[in-house]
Amino acid sequence: MPRKPPTSGRSRTPDRRDERARDERPGGSARKPGAKPGAKPGARSGAKPGAKPGAKPGAKPGAAPVTKPVAKTAALFDVEVACLPGLVEVLQAEVRARLGEGGALDAAPPQRRGPVGREDALALRVTEHGRAALHELRTAVAVERVRRFAVPRPKALLGDAVLRDLLGEIQAVVAAAAAARAPFTALRLEAAGRESPVMRRLAAALAAGVGLPEDPEDGDLRVRVRPDDGGWAVLVRTTRRPLSARGWRVCDRPGGLNASLAAAVPWLARPARGVQALNAFAGSGTLAIELALADPGARVDGVDLDADAVACAERNASAAGVEGRVRFAVGDATSLGAADGSVRLLLADPPWGDAVGAHADNRELYPAFLAEAARVVAPGGRLALVTHEVALVHELLEGSAGAAWRTVHERRVWHGGHHPLLLVVERLPASGGEGRRRSGGGREPRSGRVLT
């Protein structure tokens, strides 16, 4: 019988924690200012990208570009598109692929927002057409409409003209959601000092103005107020839930990945279209399902030691409509059963040693898995790994396990209180039989259904 891996009750599943973590990041309400109120938001903030050189995401999985050219007279809207910190370059690549430079985007390139090195949003100017397309972004966490007001204090947001302007903006979001049959139910104001009398009055005025109750904790119409380069910006999230909270997730597991992070993996690993991939440590199936959704030709076999995880992943795949291309089975990631050198893309989110598994066990599990990965991945094929065992993975790859791999991409991402590593390595041609080693650390493979 496959051994059930140890778990605790903690989850890394996408939810308001990731969303809140973004708003609560150090300096969250005092970001590096971008464009001046009323100024063209495409102006550069001067924020430096945090990713390593050569780490440019290039593939365009599943992105159908919006090709409509921007008419000179087309109305343009200021928006911010948020992502997990660490993924802004991937988001930027996806925005370009979907909206096209000079297509449904204004000519100015998206401007990164957030603390340097932890940018978590792109400020864009888009047409109405492009704005609708933003909801299709898979590496985004939220889309917000932005209004900037050149007023010195938030109290001025309560002035007649400004409030009317603001309510018009929020009402447009409310009407669009109602038309899409996903109506908002209550308004929530987020701001530094949101308990202050001014913010309380503003929240009450906005809620009354759009005809919704106010719910400071759980309101799904999220309105944020923040200082903005000498003035104030008001940002209205356009969807009831974060975009990363996928409709397909009907089943959850401890350690479930944020789907927007899983969606970034194909952008970084760049598999060929129609890839046949393997997903070790599949859990609730996030990596496998997001790959299948990004590439309608992709097929993925996922394995997990835990039969409950397999059942959960199958339910999610079915809800995502990819069950014909994504299969899950009970199996041991250290004994995958695939033929030597047969896999073009291996996706893996092994236990991080806290929500799932234990650090001590990982010292055996990781080397054994890396040895198995080196055996099954074809020369030139890739392993994409998401893990919080950062030191362990570096130690292993700097040791003998590293001889099998060339690092293609490496970045750290902020994810629900963790700071995991997203690593893509490419299999080097085997030399002297090193790729055929059975296991590292003397670990015996566990039983489980073998994939063919």
Ligand X SMILES: C[S@@+](CC[C@H](N)C(=O)[O-])C[C@H]1O[C@@H](n2cnc3c(N)ncnc32)[C@H](O)[C@@H]1O
- The region of 67-75, 232-240, 293-301, 351-359 touching ligand X under the rule CB under 6 A is 351-359
Residue 6 CB, nearest approach to ligand X (Å): 9
Q: Does 283 bind ligand X (CB under 6 A)?
A: yes
Q: Does 292 bind ligand X (CB under 6 A)?
A: no
Q: Which of 333, 393, 396, 401 binds ligand X (CB under 6 A)?
A: 333
Q: Based on CB atoms, which residue is closest to ligand X, 77 or 352?
A: 352
Q: Which of 303, 371, 393, 425 binds ligand X (CB under 6 A)?
A: 303
- The region of 44-52, 122-130, 222-230, 299-307 touching ligand X under the rule CB under 6 A is 299-307
Q: With CB under 6 A, what is the number of residues at the site for ligand X?
A: 26
Q: x/- string (CB under 6 A) for ligand X, residues 365-384?
A: x-------------------
Q: Based on CB atoms, which residue is closest to ligand X, 100 or 351?
A: 351
Q: Based on CB atoms, which residue is closest to ligand X, 207 or 278?
A: 278
CA nearest neighbour of 203 among 182, 218, 224:
224
Touching ligand X, residues 208-237 (CB under 6 A): none
Residue 384 CB, nearest approach to ligand X (Å): 12
Q: Label each residue of the chain as H, E or C.
A: CCCCCCECCCCCCCCHHHHHHHHCCCCCCCCCCCCCCCCCCCCCCCCCCCCCCCCCCCCCCCCCCCCCCCCCCCCCEEEEEECCCCCHHHHHHHHHHHHHHHHHECCCCCEEECCCCCCCEEEEEECHHHHHHHHHCCCCCEEEEEEEECCCCHHHHHCHHHHHHHHHHHHHHHHHHHHCCCCCCCEEEEECCCCCHHHHHHHHHHHHHHCCCECCCCCCEEEEEEEECCEEEEEEECCCCCCCCCCCCCCCCCCCCCHHHHHHHHHHHCCCCCCEEEEECCCCCHHHHHHHHHCCCCEEEEEECCHHHHHHHHHHHHHHCCCCCEEEEECCCCCCCCCCCCEEEEEECCCCCCCECCHHHHHHHHHHHHHHHHHHEEEEEEEEEEECCHHHHHHHHHCHHHHHEEEEEEEECCECCECCEEEEEEECCCCCCHHHCCCCCCCCCCCCCCCC
Q: Does 349 bind ligand X (CB under 6 A)?
A: yes
- The region of 140-148, 213-221, 235-243, 350-358 touching ligand X under the rule CB under 6 A is 350-358
Q: Based on CB atoms, which residue is closest to ligand X, 198 or 358?
A: 358
Q: Does 351 bind ligand X (CB under 6 A)?
A: yes
Q: Does 5 bind ligand X (CB under 6 A)?
A: yes
Q: Based on CB atoms, which residue is closest to ligand X, 187 or 343?
A: 343
Q: Residue of minimal CB distance from ligand X? A: 283
Q: Based on CB atoms, which residue is closest to ligand X, 61 or 448?
A: 448
Q: Does 338 bind ligand X (CB under 6 A)?
A: no
Q: x/- string (CB under 6 A) for ligand X, residues 235-274?
A: ------------------x-xxx-----------------
Q: Does 42 bind ligand X (CB under 6 A)?
A: no
Residue 354 CB, nearest approach to ligand X (Å): 10
Say if strands 187-191 and 221-228 run parallel, antiparallel, or are unpaired. parallel
Q: Which of 18, 332, 372, 410 binds ligand X (CB under 6 A)?
A: 332
- Cβ-Cβ contacts under 8 Å for 17 (sequence gap 6 or more): 416, 417
Q: Which of 137, 287, 298, 392 binds ligand X (CB under 6 A)?
A: 287
Say if strands 377-387 and 421-427 run parallel, antiparallel, or are unpaired. antiparallel
Token reading at 2 = 């496959």
Token reading at 50 = 């945090």
Residue 232 CB, nearest approach to ligand X (Å): 38
Residue 281 CB, nearest approach to ligand X (Å): 3
Q: Which of 70, 191, 356, 377 binds ligand X (CB under 6 A)?
A: 356
Residue 447 CB, nearest approach to ligand X (Å): 11
Residue 90 CB, nearest approach to ligand X (Å): 18
Q: Based on CB atoms, which residue is closest to ligand X, 62 or 351?
A: 351
Pairwise CA distance, residues 308 & 200, whole Å: 46
Q: For tokens 């708003």, what's the residue?
A: 23
- CB of 43 closer than 8 Å to CB of 34: yes
* Residues binding ligand X (CB under 6 A): 5, 253, 255-257, 281, 283-284, 286-287, 303-306, 309, 332-334, 349-352, 356-357, 365, 446
